[in-house]
Amino acid sequence: FSPDGTMIAFASARDGNLEIYVMKVDGTDKVRLTNTDNSVQDGRPVYTPDGTQIAYTSFDQGLIPEVWLMNADGTAPVNQTSDPSVDDHPAFAGTR
């Protein structure tokens, strides 16, 4: 859930590949935020405490999972953990 309780970020393969979406808490206004090719799957989204960004895990087939951060509208995705270790399940203090 977004910090203000109005939006939900979630992962779905509804369009054939696991991607990040957001929607209003009443289930309306679903918007796809990521649009990767079929070799990449994006999941485990979590809002930053101020609600302006979403962190998520990106799984590129054959590569180690990495944590990415993008604006809450899906723009400006940036890899945050480019290293040889498994980086997964992003979280922020005070969130689950």
Query: Hey, how many other C-beta atoms are within 10 angstroms of the C-beta on 38?
Result: 9
**pTM for the model:** 0.91
Burial of 64 (0-12, 13-18, 19+ CB in 10 A): middle
Q: What is the dihedral of CA 16, 17, 20, 22, to 10 degrees?
A: 0
Nearest to 42 by CA among 78, 18, 63: 18
What is the tens place of the pLDDT at every residue in 12-60? 999 889 999 999 999 999 999 999 888 899 999 999 999 999 999 999 8
Nearest-angstrom CA–CA distance, 19 and 2:
18
96 confidence band (pLDDT: 50, 70, 90): low
| DSSP E strands, the chain | 7-12, 19-24, 31-32, 40-47, 53-60, 66-71, 78-79
What residues pair up with 10 in beta bridges, in sequence order? Answer: 21
